[in-house]
Amino acid sequence: MDDRTAVQPKMVPVSQQEAYRGGTKLRRRFPTIHYLRNHARHHIPHFAFEYSDGGAGADTGIAHNWAALDAVELVPRYGVMPSLPPLEVELFGRRYAAPIGIAPMGGPAVVWPGADQFMAEAAQRTRIPYVLGTVGGLSIEQAMAIAPDVMWFQLYRMARNDHALGFDLVRRADAAGVNVLVITIDVPVRTTRPREVIVGLGGGPIRPEPRTILDVLSAPGWMMALLKHGLPRFANMKPYAGEGASTNDVIRFTRREIGGAFTWDEIARFRDRWKRPLVLKGILHPLDAERAVSLGVDGVWVSNHGGRQIEALPPSIDVLPAIAAQIGRRATILMDSGVRSGLDVVRALALGAQTAFAGKAFLWGLGALGPQGPQHVIDLLIDEARATLGQIGAHSPAEAQSVVIRHPGALSFPQLPGR
């Protein structure tokens, strides 16, 4: 294990826990992520909020994710918890401060210019995983310079020229020393997110329309950030788009290159090339998890893409127990989709995940607080997760799995062999 990443577990006396101290000014204004979302709605341009908040169709998939998490109840055991538990976890040979991570996102800089940098900085400061997206606003090399101990890289499929571009990004990630490669498999098709389309972010070139300009003028903090950090850039893709390519050229190029979901044969080829830990993101079926493990994948990331693909996908929390039962300890299990609190994180731990990631929660933090947002979201998630473990009587994140759980939405897969 890398010495720099060693974190000593420590118990935290209840009286010293942040939430119990009455909180800082930020905590008084934004005691939960819910308040960040409400404030973001009025603090950034309308198009930026719509980008951060919208899902497929009528957002039903997002609502299902939230409702499914809300329905999970944990039965506490008392008399066993004189102090609050440590949250440290080990993932893929490195220690992290908490079982919480920042999910990969393309375009967070739409929500707050410079967003990728602020998320990477907060993750490094706290030592939680930060996943840079293929179409994120930092290049692999820039993100590694900011977050060398915690940065992972997410890859989309770019099949032209026999995956030349994807293989080159993987080569760059390897050369930069990225520890974990995350391959996203759950975007076989492009679907419609109407709230993005309506505000002009449906995928075409960026054209400032009068209403967009008015939107920007109504959000002076966001406008200043834009002047300082510039337009969102597809930093990883730019070098491949040709000399002097404009932002719109790079967008067009990226849309042409990225497409379809990886086949299992393709995943096997990436497995061959990438010698460090490999994670498959977007798994919802135990047999796909099994297939991933059989190919030598190290991590299975249970996700429905945060309700952004189609609305009929089951909430990841509802398929998590069946996937955990299927693969056991043969791979690390990660989860996202709908996480809005440290309580949700512990629900995911209790049902079989080793770490839960959040996407939109970080965008709402950025929308409400700009550069300070990601750190505040991390602080809230950590405090709430620690308090939840304390409340249910779990002495570590792993011990959350031993509590009694009521999970009305749990999906069973009776047709699976052996059940």
**3-state SS, residue 101:** strand
Backbone angles phi, psi at 134, to 5 degrees: -50, -45
By C-beta, is 69 or 84 nearer to ligand FMN? 69
What is the total residue count of the chain? 419
Q: Which stretch binds ligand FMN (CB under 6 A): 8-16, 140-148, 244-252, 353-361?
A: 353-361
19: left (phi over 0), alpha (psi -120 to 50) or beta: alpha
Of 386, 397, 375, 376, which is closest to residue 123 (Cα–Cα)? Answer: 375
229 is catalytic: no
Instruction: Assess 303 for contact with ligand FMN (CB under 6 A).
Output: yes
Instruction: Assess 163 for contact with ligand FMN (CB under 6 A).
Output: no
55, with CB counted inside 10 A (0-12, 13-18, 19+), is buried
Backbone angles phi, psi at 186, to 5 degrees: -105, 25
Which member of 64, 163, 193, 281 binds ligand FMN (CB under 6 A)? 281
Structure tokens at 408: 């009305």
> Cβ-closest residue to ligand FMN?
359
In angstroms, rounded to a whole number, what is the distance separating the alpha carbons of residues 141 and 261?
Answer: 25
Instruction: Assess 100 for contact with ligand FMN (CB under 6 A).
Output: no
Sequence-ordered alpha helix ranges (H) in 87-159 = 108-111, 115-126, 140-146
- Identified catalytic residue from 64, 305, 376, 407: 305
**Which amino acid would we find at residue 221?**
G
CA 359 to chain centre: 4
Q: Which stretch binds ligand FMN (CB under 6 A): 17-25, 104-112, 210-218, 365-373?
A: 104-112
By C-beta, is 85 or 362 nearer to ligand FMN? 362
In angstroms, rounded to a whole number, what is the distance separating the alpha carbons of residues 419 and 285?
Answer: 15
Instruction: Assess 201 for contact with ligand FMN (CB under 6 A).
Output: no
Instruction: Assess 165 for contact with ligand FMN (CB under 6 A).
Output: no
Shortest gap between Cβ of 52 and ligand FMN (angstroms)? Answer: 6
**Residue located via tokens 């939109």:** 360
Which member of 40, 128, 320, 358 binds ligand FMN (CB under 6 A)? 358
Which member of 86, 114, 133, 373 binds ligand FMN (CB under 6 A)? 133
Q: Which stretch binds ligand FMN (CB under 6 A): 22-30, 89-97, 252-260, 304-312?
A: 304-312
Which member of 45, 286, 321, 338 binds ligand FMN (CB under 6 A)? 338
Which member of 142, 337, 341, 355 binds ligand FMN (CB under 6 A)? 337
Q: Within 13 Å and on the Cβ side, how many CA atoms surround 318? A: 20
Binding site for ligand FMN (CB under 6 A): 51, 65, 103-107, 133, 135, 154, 184, 281, 303, 305-306, 308, 336-339, 358-361
List the catalytic residues: 305
